[in-house]
Amino acid sequence: MDFTNFLHMKEELSLIAVMVILLLYDVFGSTRSQRHFQLIACILFGLHTIINILPHEASEAFGGMYVYKPMLTIVKSILNIGTLIVFMQAHTWLESEKTVIRRGEFYFLTLSTLLGMYFMMSAGNFLLFFIGLETASIPMAALAAFDKYKRKSAEAGAKYILSAVFASALSLYGISLIYGTTGTLYFDDVASKVTGNPLQIMAFVFFVVGMFFKISLVPFHLWTADVYEGAPTSVTSYLSVISKGSAVFVLMTLLMKVFPNIATEWKAILYGITIVTITIANLFAIRQKNLKRFLAFSSISQAGYIMLGVISANALGMTSLVYYVLVYMASNLGAFGVISVIEQKTGKVMMDDYNGLYKTHPYLSMAMTFSLFSLAGIPPFAGFFSKFFIFAAAASQGYYLLVLIALLNTVISLYYYLLVVKAMFINPSDEPLAPFRSDNYTRISLVVCIAGVLLLGIFSVIYQQISLFSFGM
Amino acid sequence: MEIRMEYYLIISTIMLFAGIYGFFTRRNLLAVLISVELMLNSVDINFAVFNRYLFPEAMEGFFFALFAIGVSAAETAVAIAIIINIYRNIRNIQVKKLGTMKH
C-alpha cells in the first residue's frame, strides 16, 4: 500500500495529532498538571491553525476519494480560528465546578466534529462525504446534551440527534437513487452522468433536503431554536458558526461540482427557499425574548443571505460566500461571547435582564452593539461589506427581485437587532446586572471578534486573498 | 426464478415512507428512533439491490451499505444514551414531555 497518499491530508493529520495528545493528556495527566489544560489545548490548537494556514497546490489522494483545493485551506483556516475563539469563550464554563471533570471530553468531541467537517469538505466521493457528515453530526449531539443534569440540555440533544438522523436518512436515500441512476459515487463521474431525468431530480431533492436540514433553512428549521436554546452556550455558538459555515460551503461546491447539468432546477429550488428563509426567520426573530433563541432565528436568516452566494454559482459567489462566513463568524461569536460570559456569571439570558447593561458593563455592551450592527449590516462594520458583496454576486446573475426582497429584509432585521441595543442603552432598569470581572480568555476572544468586525471590511486584502483561490461552475 | 429488481425497490420505498410516517406520529422517543432506523435500513436495501442488479462489476454499493450500517449503529448508540439521560432527568420518554422550550 502506498502510504504517501496520507501526506496530502496534512490538515486532517495534524488535527488528529492534536486530538490524540489532548485525549492522552486528559486521561493520564496528573491532577496537578491539568491545571493548565485549557491553556495547552488552546496553544496546541493555535499551532495547528498556524501550521496549516498557507495553501499548497491542488492534489488528489486515494484515487480521487480525497480532493484538495487551495480554497479548502482558506475555509479550514476560517473554521480553525472560529473554533479557537469558541475554546477561549468556553473557559469560564469549562472551569465551573460541574463541568471541570468533563473538560477533556468537550475538546475531544468538538475536535472530532471539526475533523468530520474537514473530511466532508475534502471529499471527492459520496462515501467519504457521508462519513464526514456523520462524524460532524454525531459528536455534535453529545455536545448539545453536554450538561447532563439539565433537562433543557438533554432535550436539545434528543432533538438534535433525531433530526440529524432523519435528515441524513433522507440524504442517504437520495444518494442511493443517484447511485442507482449513474452507477458511480465519484463526484466527477456522477457529474457527467446526471442528465436531469425525473428520477435523478427526485434523488437530488432527497439529497439536498438533508443538507438543508443541517444548514437549517426554513421549512427544515424547526429543530434549530430549541437546540440552540437548550445546548450550553459555547456549543450553541460552535453550532451556529462552524457547523453552519462548513455545511454551506459544502453545499455550494457539491451543487457546482456534481449537479451542474440540472442547474436550472436547483436554482429554482434555492430561489424559493432563500426568500422563505430570510422572511420567516426575520419575522419569528422579532418575538423572541430569550437571547439564545433570538440569535438562533437571526442565524437562520443569515443562512438565507448566504444562500444568495450559493445561487449565483460563480467565482464571485464563492468569494462572497466565504467572506460572508468569515465576517458572520466574527460578529456572531462576538455576540455569543457576551451572552456566554453574562450567562456564566449571573445566569441571565432573557432580553429584559439586559436592561441598563451599559451602566454596569460598558465594554460588554459596546462589544455586543458592534457585533449586532455588523450582523445587521450597518456601513462602517464588516457586515455591511459582506452583505454588499453577496448581493452583488446574486445581482450579477440577474436575480434582482431576490436581492430586493433580501434588502427589504435587512430593514426588518435592523429592527430586532436594535431592540437588544435599546434594552442595553436606553431602557431604564432598577437593578441592572451586578458588575463582575470577566476572565482573560473571554476578553481576548472578544477583542479578536471586535477587531474582526471593525477591520475585516476595511482591509480589502482579505477579500482579495479569498478571491484568488475561488472557483466557479 | 429470479425476483425482479422492482419488488425490492417497492419494499424499500414502503419502508422509507413508513419510517417518515412513524417519525412524525409516534409518541415515544424509542419508537421515533425505530422509525428512523427503518428509513436508514431502506437505504441499505437500495444500495445492495442497485449494485447486485445494475452494476455487478464493482462493489461500491455494497461497501456504501456496510458503512451506512456501521454509522447508523453509532447514531443509535448516541441516541439511546441521550434518551436514557432524559429518562434519568424526568423519568419519562414521551415526546410531549419535551416541550419546555416552547414560546
3-class secondary structure per residue, A323-367: HHHHHHHHHHHHHHHHHHHHHHHHCCCEHHHHCCHHHHCHHHHHH
* CB–CB contact A162 B36 (8 Å): yes
Compute the distance between CA of residue A462 and CA of residue A471 in angstroms, rounded to an integer.
16
Query: Which pLDDT score is estimated for A62?
Result: 87
Chain B hits for A161, CB-CB cut-off 8 Å, are 75, 78-79, 82
Whole-number Cα distances in Å, A294 to A287, A340, A371: 8, 14, 14
Domain of B46, in residue numbers:
5-98
**A313: left (phi > 0), else alpha (psi -120 to 50), else beta?**
left
Compute the distance between CA of residue A376 and CA of residue A427 in angstroms, rounded to an integer.
21
Interface predicted TM-score (ipTM): 0.95
Chain A hits for B78, CB-CB cut-off 8 Å, are 138, 141-142, 161
Is B92 inside any structural domain?
Answer: yes
Chain B hits for A155, CB-CB cut-off 8 Å, are 86, 98, 100-101
Is B66 inside any structural domain?
Answer: yes
Instruction: Looking at the complex, report in whole angstroms how far the Cα of residue B4 sits from the nearest Cα belonging to chain A.
Output: 15
Is B103 inside any structural domain?
Answer: no
Between chain A and chain B, how many beta carbons pairs sit less than 8 Å apart? 121
Average pLDDT for runs of 10 along chain A of length 473: 82 93 89 85 93 87 88 93 93 85 90 94 93 93 90 91 93 94 91 90 92 89 91 93 93 92 91 93 91 92 92 90 94 93 88 86 91 91 92 92 93 92 86 82 93 89 86 77
- Searching chain A, which residue's CA lies closest to the CA of residue B83? A158
Collapse the DSSP code of A123 into the 3-class scheme (helix H, G, I; strand E, B; otherwise coil) and give the result. Answer: strand
Compute the distance between CA of residue A99 and CA of residue A376 in angstroms, rounded to an integer.
34
- Searching chain A, which residue's CA lies closest to the CA of residue B48? A176
- Dig out the grid coordinates for B72 from the structure: 447508523
Query: Which pLDDT score is estimated for A50?
Result: 93
If you average pLDDT over residues B7-15, what whole number do you get?
94
Where is A59: in which H helix or E strand?
strand A59-61
Instruction: Looking at the complex, report in whole angstroms how far the Cα of residue A203 sits from the nearest Cα belonging to chain B.
Output: 12
Domain of A96, in residue numbers:
3-469
Spatial neighbors of A440 by CB under 8 A, at least 6 apart, are none
Q: How many domains does chain B have?
A: 1
* CB–CB contact A130 B42 (8 Å): no
Where is B16: in which H helix or E strand?
helix B5-25
- Dig out the grid coordinates for A442 from the structure: 473571554
- Residue A428's CB is within 10 A of a number of other CB atoms, namely 8
Q: How many domains does chain A have?
A: 1
pTM of structure: 0.94
* CB–CB contact B64 A127 (8 Å): yes
Query: Which pLDDT score is estimated for A1?
Result: 67
Is B84 inside any structural domain?
Answer: yes
Is B94 inside any structural domain?
Answer: yes
Closest CA relative to residue A54, chosen from A14, A20, A17? A14
Is B35 inside any structural domain?
Answer: yes
- CATH number of domain containing B81: 1.10.287.3510
B95 touching A, CB under 8 A?
no
- Residue B65's CB is within 10 A of a number of other CB atoms, namely 22
